[in-house]
């Protein structure tokens, strides 16, 4: 019995309009709240994906730059180890030999701004030569870049701990290679000192936010070599229980990981990439606090909007329930005389109306017109049907009525019901969008005499449709922007940021491909290497800004006189290299001379005078001078060295 009574109570409650209204408001609010939660969740997912793309781009850029630096340093160290004479590792080297060795070290040191200098140590770790002119005799036997080879550590490239060099006075990273005699005994060690302040400027230039982190670490133990922001106390120390290092040790050359920082507790999303075949990797991290700022503001606004909607629904529900109570009292007094109109008109939010077709005037308008337009029904009854429509809507309605009447007269009964949209002018002058369902009522003779219509305010729906279209437009615009950023990122990976020419990484890939093509098809291939004469004087005298302008001007001059298939590249510092496919040596020499003459005519305004400069060029060709990319590059480099030795501002061809 109790169950039946409770079931009857629920049935009566469900049949109650008040209960259904309360249930509708609750479900409406829950639906809107669920939608807001879904949109916030999707928004965060999109921001997280964007953050992963951004941090991946940062790590890719730094990996490309650092790998390029280490490859150049390794190439120079291997070249020095192969070319320096045996007496170069003896403190008692002949004066003539000492001069040649120091000039060679200085030439290699000037090629790359990242290298602070080169040193040659003897078998006891004593300094024999230094590219910066430091006095010989200092002992570096306790440095790890010497001890690793003194203890029989093989001949592989070794990366030392970061330290403050006593001769240079700033933080450096030593990269060393051993030189051994025929019997395997250690003859000496050649060391390249990388300037960490120069590498730090790269770390500072990338966009990782205020709390972002960029670091260079050892692969085997996560030891920190360089970090942004730089913390001297963390240098050469592995971070204990570091999730990033565990992820790296699990395998893979790159990946993502999210965790709270061991030192500062900040949550970040990290992307790491190994540096070629070196025992190092670079990691970049974006702080969650940085890239979720706007999303959290949106979340706060969404919560406030949900609260406002809840309060508005509660207020509306209260008022509707009160109005329902008053309508129930009125219904009791007027049930018999107004039952039909109470259900049809007074309880409808839509406006119900009738129009007399012969006079084209309203004969009835339901009271809900006041809530929609501000007009009372008596203000519209007897007025022309188009009195409150915009001019364009009134013209369309008149044409539509004429068309419908002709179709009905021809026997087309389907023309008696039509759905249209019109713009309506309210009493306060505002315009609203309406949807009108018109039914043409026929008399006994089949003639349309009256139009019964229902008008509904669809302004909010129109606004929602417009907002949806705008959201779709913005979404497509963002997708296109992401595509452009991806293309720009690919372009940045192969372009030099100062001159706009290709970088050395792109040249290495292209040179291998073009040499293979020339070997396969039997076509000629030339290589022109050039650099600016006395460029250091320009930087020392006028400053690096003027030096940068000289580099850009030279790059523009070269770009203005090349073919589509030519590959101009900034090789390093003030040194450039131009790959000329399908071009024999004689033509390449003429091209090089044309470039030399064009540069000689250049003039750069600086203050009250004009700055001029010249270039020296070395030319080598495949297969006359070299049959591999490395051989061809070395021949062009030697030809350039010969041009400088012969007096600069000239073109020299490699001689066999």
Which DSSP string corresponds to 30-59? HHHHHHHHHHHHHHHHHHHHHHHHHHHHHH
Nearest Cα to Cα of residue 117 among 188, 186, 167, 180? 167
435 with 539, same domain: the answer is no
Residues in a beta bridge with 257: 270
Q: Which residues of the chain have pLDDT under 50?
A: 337
Q: Is residue 239 assigned to a domain? A: no
Whichever domain contains 97, its CATH number is 3.30.450.20
Would you state the torsion angle of the CA atoms of residues 291, 292, 295, 301, taken in this order, to the nearest 10 degrees?
-130
Residue 298 lies in a domain: no
CB atoms within 10 A of CB 521: 8
> 299 lies in a domain?
no
Q: Is 187 within the bounds of a domain?
A: yes
Q: Which residue has the tokens 């030697």?
A: 638
User: Is 452 in the same domain as 592?
Assistant: no
pLDDT of residue 154: 65
Q: Domain check: are 513 and 624 in the same one?
A: yes
Q: Long-range contacts: 556-560, Cβ < 8 Å, 24+?
A: 557/595, 557/598, 557/599, 557/602, 558/501, 558/595, 559/500, 559/501
How many folded domains does the chain comprise? Answer: 3
Question: How many beta carbons lie within 10 A of that of residue 606, not counting itself?
Answer: 16
**Residue 427: CB atoms within 10 Å:** 13
How would you list the strands of the sheet with 186-195, edge to edge?
127-130, 115-122, 186-195, 171-180, 158-164
Rounded CA Rg of the chain: 41
Query: Residue 309's pLDDT is what?
Result: 79
CB 636 within 8 Å of CB 527 = yes
- State whether 615 and 522 are in the same domain: yes
DSSP characters over 566-635:
-EEEEEETTEEEEEEET--HHHHHHHHHHHHHHHHT--EEETTEEE---EEEEEEEETTT-SSHHHHHHH
Measure the CA dihedral 300/304/305/309, to 10°.
150
Distance of alpha carbon 625 from alpha carbon 632, whole angstroms: 6
Domain end point (choices 174, 198, 222):
198
CA dihedral in degrees (505, 506, 511, 512; nearest 10)?
70
Residues 535 and 626 in one domain: yes
Pair 502, 569: CB distance under 8 Å: yes
Nearest to 354 by CA among 322, 318, 380, 320: 380
338: in domain: no
437, with CB counted inside 10 A (0-12, 13-18, 19+), is middle
pLDDT value at position 208?
A: 82
Tell me if the bond preceding 229 is cis, omega within 30° of 0. yes
User: Which tokens go with 139?
Assistant: 């002992």
- What are the structure tokens assigned to 561, written together? 């006189």
* Residue 51 belongs to some domain of the structure: no
Tokens 């997912």 sit on residue: 45
Do 401 and 510 lie in a common domain? no
Strands 171-180 and 158-164: antiparallel
Tally Cβ neighbours within 10 Å of residue 593: 14
Token reading at 67: 């790998």
Are residues 548 and 608 both part of a single domain? yes
Burial (CB count <10 Å: 0-12, 13-18, 19+), residue 252: exposed
Distance CA 620, CA 645 (A): 17
Do residue 445 and residue 526 come from a single domain? no
Q: What is the pLDDT of residues 174-207, one digit of tens each?
A: 899 998 887 778 888 999 998 888 888 888 888 8
Alpha-carbon distance of 437 to 116, in angstroms, equals: 83
Closest Cα partner for 163 from 87, 237, 85? 237
Query: Cα–Cα distance between 619 and 632 in angstroms, integer?
Result: 9
Q: What is the signed CA dihedral for 518, 523, 524, 530, rounded to 10 degrees? A: -50
Coil, helix or strand for 130?
A: strand
| Whether 346 is catalytic | no
Please say which residue of 198, 216, 249 terminates a domain: 198
9 CB-contact burial (10 Å; exposed 0-12 / middle 13-18 / buried 19+): exposed
Phi, psi of 443 (to 5 degrees): -85, -170
Nearest to 63 by CA among 257, 224, 277: 277
Same domain, yes or no: 443 and 512: no
- Report d(CA 126, CA 203) in Å as an integer: 34
What is the secondary structure of 351-388 as a DSSP string?
Answer: EEEEEETTTTEEEEE-TTHHHHHS--HHHHTTSBTTTT
pLDDT digits (tens, 9 = 90+) for 101-141: 888 888 888 887 888 889 898 888 888 888 887 767 788 88
Sign, CA dihedral 81-87-92-98, equals: negative
Query: Is the same domain home to 612 and 528?
Result: yes
- Match 């070196």 to its residue by tokens: 278
**Candidate list 114, 223, 574, 575, residue with the active-site label:** 574
Q: Do residue 447 and residue 555 come from a single domain? A: no
Q: Which CATH number covers residue 642?
A: 3.30.70.270
Structural domain of residue 641, as residue ranges? 504-653
Which of 457, 491, 518 delimits the end of a domain?
Answer: 457
423 in the same domain as 530? no
Residue 645 forms part of a structural domain: yes
**Whole-angstrom distance, CA of residue 448 vs CA of residue 443:** 6
Q: Is 538 within a domain?
A: yes
Helix (H) or strand (E) holding 164: strand 158-164
Residue 39 in contact with residue 284, Cβ under 8 Å? no
Q: In 84-123, which residue ranges form alpha helices assigned H by DSSP? A: 95-111
């Amino acid at each position: 019995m109790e169950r039946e009574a409770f079931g009857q109570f629920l049935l009566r409650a469900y049949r109650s309009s008040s209960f259904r209204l309360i249930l509708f408001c609750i479900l409406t609010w829950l639906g809107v709240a669920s939608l807001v939660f879904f949109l916030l969740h999707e928004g965060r997912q999109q921001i997280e994906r964007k953050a992963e793309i951004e941090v991946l781009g940062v790590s890719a850029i730094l990996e490309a730059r650092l790998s390029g630096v280490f490859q150049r340093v390794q190439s120079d160290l291997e070249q020095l180890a192969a070319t320096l004479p045996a007496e170069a590792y003896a403190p008692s080297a002949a004066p003539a030999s000492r001069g040649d060795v120091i000039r060679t070290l200085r030439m290699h040191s000037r090629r790359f701004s990242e290298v602070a200098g080169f040193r040659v140590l003897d078998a006891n770790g004593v300094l024999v030569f230094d590219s910066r002119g430091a006095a010989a005799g200092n002992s570096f036997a306790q440095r790890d870049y010497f001890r690793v080879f003194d203890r029989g550590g093989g001949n592989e490239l070794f990366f030392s701990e970061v330290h403050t060099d006593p001769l240079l006075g700033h933080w450096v990273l030593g990269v060393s290679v051993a030189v051994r005699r025929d019997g395997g005994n250690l003859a000496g060690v050649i060391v390249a000192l990388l300037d960490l302040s120069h590498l730090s400027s790269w770390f500072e230039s990338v966009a990782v936010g205020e709390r972002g982190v960029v670091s260079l670490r050892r692969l085997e133990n996560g030891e920190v070599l360089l970090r942004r922001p730089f913390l001297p106390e963390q240098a050469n120390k592995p971070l204990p229980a570091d999730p990033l290092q565990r992820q790296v040790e699990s395998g893979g050359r790159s990946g993502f990981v999210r965790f709270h920082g061991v030192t500062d507790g900040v949550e970040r999303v990290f992307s790491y990439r190994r540096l070629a075949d070196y025992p190092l990797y670079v990691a970049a991290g974006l702080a969650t606090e940085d890239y979720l700022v706007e999303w959290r503001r949106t979340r706060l606004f969404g919560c406030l909007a949900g609260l406002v909607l809840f309060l508005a629904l509660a207020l509306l529900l209260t008022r509707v329930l009160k109005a329902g109570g008053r309508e129930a009292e009125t219904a009791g007094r007027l049930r018999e005389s107004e039952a039909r109109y109470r259900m049809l008109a007074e309880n409808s939010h839509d406006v119900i109306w009738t129009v007399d077709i012969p006079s084209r005037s309203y004969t009835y308008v339901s009271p809900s017109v006041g809530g929609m337009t501000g007009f009372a029904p008596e203000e519209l009854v007897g007025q022309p049907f188009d009195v409150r429509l915009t001019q364009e809507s009134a013209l369309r309605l008149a044409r539509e009525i004429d068309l419908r009447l002709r179709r009905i007269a021809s026997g087309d009964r389907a023309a008696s019901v039509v759905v249209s949209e019109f713009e309506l002018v309210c009493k306060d002058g505002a315009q609203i969008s309406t949807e009108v369902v018109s039914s043409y009522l026929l008399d006994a003779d089949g003639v349309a005499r009256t139009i019964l219509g229902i008008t509904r305010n669809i302004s909010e729906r129109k606004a929602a449709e417009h907002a949806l279209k705008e959201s779709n437009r913005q979404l497509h615009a963002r997708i296109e922007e992401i595509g452009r950023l991806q293309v720009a990122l690919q372009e940045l990976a192969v372009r030099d940021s100062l001159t706009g020419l290709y970088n050395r990484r792109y040249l290495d890939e292209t040179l291998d491909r073009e040499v293979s093509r020339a070997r396969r098809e039997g076509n000629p291939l030339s290589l022109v290497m050039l650099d600016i004469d006395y460029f250091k004087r320009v930087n020392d005298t006028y400053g690096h800004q003027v030096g940068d302008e000289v580099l850009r001007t030279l790059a523009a001059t070269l770009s203005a006189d090349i073919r589509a298939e030519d590959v101009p590249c900034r090789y390093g510092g003030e040194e450039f290299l131009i790959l000329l496919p399908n071009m024999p040596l004689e033509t390449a020499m003429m091209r090089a001379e044309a470039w030399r003459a064009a540069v000689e005519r250049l003039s750069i305004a600086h203050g009250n005078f004009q700055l001029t400069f010249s270039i020296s060029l070395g030319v080598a060709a495949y297969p006359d001078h070299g049959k591999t990319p490395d051989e061809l590059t070395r021949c062009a480099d030697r030809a350039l060295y010969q041009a400088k030795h012969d007096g600069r501002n000239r073109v020299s061809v490699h001689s066999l």
